[in-house]
Amino acid sequence: GQQVMQIPQYQHVQEGEDFTTYCNSSTTLSNIQWYKQRPGGHPVFLIQLVKSGEVKKQKRLTFQFGEAKKNSSLHITATQTTDVGTYFCARGSGNTGKLIFGQGTTLQVKP
Amino acid sequence: EAGVAQSPRYKIIEKRQSVAFWCNPISGHATLYWYQQILGQGPKLLIQFQNNGVVDDSQLPKDRFSAERLKGVDSTLKIQPAKLEDSAVYLCASSSGSSSYNEQFFGPGTRLTVL
């Protein structure tokens, strides 16, 4: 259906290690948005990907959209304790503003 | 620029009681969303408003949930009567446009506990 699956569900890393979360769909995506939710906080928009094969960078964060527009990934280089939180991908659905969120990947960083 | 405001931040009620949540979106944002986020899950859209009209309420349990946005600005979400499974964080979000290509801005949420 229109669900997006995120893996892994949890990831514990040592500070300085890299981290990657994947977002997969069985159907073609029109767009994908990524949000970050800190513990006890609310989702905050990070980026949107629209084009096939698109790659966008924000400092240590690299976002990719697959060539077939069925998957996306978020890679963090050299994690820091400030990266702790849950990362959600969300797909657009239909012609409305509706977003369908994945279940998220929770990142823990050990100092 | 002020963000999305929500109140209350926390609410504890017993099952079968009623509860209401309030949201004030970012000024000028015509589109308002209510999401339910159960612990360990991603937000799930309950209802989307465009000004004071409903765009999508397909996942709103209409036998117990209702929402309104009478003047196209503030919105309230009500649950009557509450069930144990309604325990969750209720997030309000707004965006400047009605497309899924628009960034959504979330409020701090209301954490509801139903005993």
For B47-76, how does the pLDDT look when each residue is reduced to its tens digit (9 = 90+)?
Answer: 999 998 999 999 999 999 999 998 889 999
Strand pairing class (A105-110; A10-14): parallel
Are B78 and B63 spatial neighbours (Cβ–Cβ below 8 Å)?
no
In chain B, the residue whose alpha carbon lies closest to the alpha carbon of A102 is B42
Are A45 and B105 spatial neighbours (Cβ–Cβ below 8 Å)?
yes
Instruction: Read off φ and ψ for residue B107, nearest 5 degrees.
Output: -85, 175
* pLDDT 10s digits, A11-34: 999 999 999 999 999 999 999 999
Q: How far is A100 from chain B (nearest CA, A)?
A: 7
Kindly tell me if the per-residue pLDDT of A93 is higher than 90.
Answer: no
Cα(A24)–Cα(B94) distance, rounded to whole angstroms?
26
For residues A64-79, one letter each, b for 16 or more C-beta atoms within 10 angstroms of the residue's C-beta and e for the rest, the string is bbbeebbbbbbebeeb
Q: Tell me if B48 and A98 make a contact (CB, 8 A cut-off).
A: yes
* pLDDT 10s digits, B70-111: 888 999 999 999 999 999 999 999 999 888 889 999 999 999
- Which candidate from A42, A94, A98 shows the least CB-CB separation from B91? A42
Q: Tell me if A97 and B41 make a contact (CB, 8 A cut-off).
A: no
Looking at residue A1, what is its pLDDT?
63
Q: Tell me if B42 and A102 make a contact (CB, 8 A cut-off).
A: yes
A104: which chain B residues are within 8 Å (Cβ-Cβ)? 41-42
Kindly tell me if the per-residue pLDDT of B41 is higher than 80.
Answer: yes
Which residues 46-65 of B have a C-beta within 8 angstroms of A?
A: 48, 55-56
User: In whole numbers, what is the pLDDT of chain A averaged over residues?
Assistant: 95
Q: Tell me if B100 and A44 make a contact (CB, 8 A cut-off).
A: no
